[in-house]
Structure 1
Amino acid sequence: METMMEEEIRILFAKTSAKMRKDYADSLREVNIYVGQDHLLWQLWRKDGATQTELSELMGCEPPTLTNMVKKLEAYGLVTRKKDASDARVTRVFLTEKGSALEYPIEEIWRNHQKKMLNGISEEDRLTLKRLLLQIDNNLKI
């Protein structure tokens, strides 16, 4: 049976997660993208021209999910898809100039969001929080 403390922690996680996601989504709307799309752009800033398969694996999402995300970013003019020169079955994703230009604004959104979340939390408590979140993440791995 779940104790009151465990129930409260679970509820706090759910409430905090929802607030964080909404706040973050609102910030990303300033640059006309949605949560998750920033992660795809980040992968391309690190490795432009990655295959859709590589991106799907790096992001931990299903290939159809990745394909839909790429299509949306392509419609926004942020990425372009090209067939691989040596294997026509492989599609590579490249940043456009417009997609590359979003790197600094999105990283600034990330920094501001992190700063807002951690406001008033000491460095020691931040390290403890990180350790605990990593443990929870590990506990939830399938």
Structure 2
Amino acid sequence: MVENDIRELMQTIATQTRKEYASKFREMNLHVGQETALCYLWEKDGITQSELRHKMQCEASTVSNMLRKLEQDSIVYRKPDKTDGRISNVFLTEKGRKLQEPIRDIWEKQQHKMLKDIPPEELLLMRRILKQMAENLTDEG
């Protein structure tokens, strides 16, 4: 059945991509997923821990543990919000800011590798289909 082939291919792509990212990020003393948190911080440094959790679609404890490790490695730091001490804002350190270029380079090289030899018109179709699939997954019901 075509649907099963698609599911299996997507699983293979996800697994292989994760393995390659894990290998590259390990060289930077990062774990897969931490780079996603950093990406949100590069977009908006000082985001609240709660906002980060929502953007990453993770459990609060997952984000908390991830940030604890990133703090131990001097990549981020947390600071209580000026108006509400119960809220933590997350900031990049200089070390965290310097990771942006090498991480984006890893992402770009992986994407280039995956999309090699696919004609532009097929990439446009693939993007449209993937967007629809993502939308289908976020639809209620």
Unaligned runs of 5+ in 1: none
Partner SS, residue 93 of structure 1: strand
Distance in 1 (CA, whole Å) between partners of 2:7 and 2:89 is 40
Distance in 1 (CA, whole Å) between partners of 2:48 and 2:40 is 11
| Root mean square deviation of aligned Cα | 1.3
Determine if the alignment matches structure 1 residue 108 to structure 2 residue 119.
no
> TM-score, length-normalised on structure 1?
0.91
String of CA shifts for 1:73-129, please: whole Å, max 9, x gaps.
111110111112222111111111111111111111111111111111111111111
Determine if the alignment matches structure 1 residue 124 to structure 2 residue 127.
no
What is the aligned partner in structure 1 of residue 76 from structure 2?
79
Unaligned runs of 5+ in 2: none
Distance in 1 (CA, whole Å) between partners of 2:52 and 2:96 is 16
Aligned counterpart for 1:90 among listed residues 79, 87, 91: 87
After TM superposition, give the deviation of residue 5 of structure 1 in Å.
2.1
Counterpart residue type for residue 52 of structure 2? L
Distance in 2 (CA, whole Å) between partners of 1:94 and 1:105 is 19
Q: Percent identity?
A: 46
After TM superposition, give the deviation of residue 6 of structure 1 in Å.
2.1
> Structure 1 stretches (4+) deviating beyond 4 angstroms?
none
Distance in 2 (CA, whole Å) between partners of 1:13 and 1:137 is 13
Aligned residues between the structures:
139
Aligned counterpart for 1:48 among listed residues 45, 49, 59: 45
What is the aligned partner in structure 1 of residue 2 from structure 2?
5
String of CA shifts for 1:56-82, please: whole Å, max 9, x gaps.
112222221111111111111101111
What is the aligned partner in structure 2 of residue 69 from structure 1?
66
Distance in 2 (CA, whole Å) between partners of 1:9 and 1:90 is 42
Partner SS, residue 90 of structure 2: strand
Aligned counterpart for 2:23 among listed residues 23, 26, 48: 26
Distance in 2 (CA, whole Å) between partners of 1:100 and 1:10 is 36
After TM superposition, give the deviation of residue 139 of structure 1 in Å.
2.0
Greater shift in the superposed pair: 7-16 or 41-50: 7-16
> TM-score, length-normalised on structure 2?
0.91
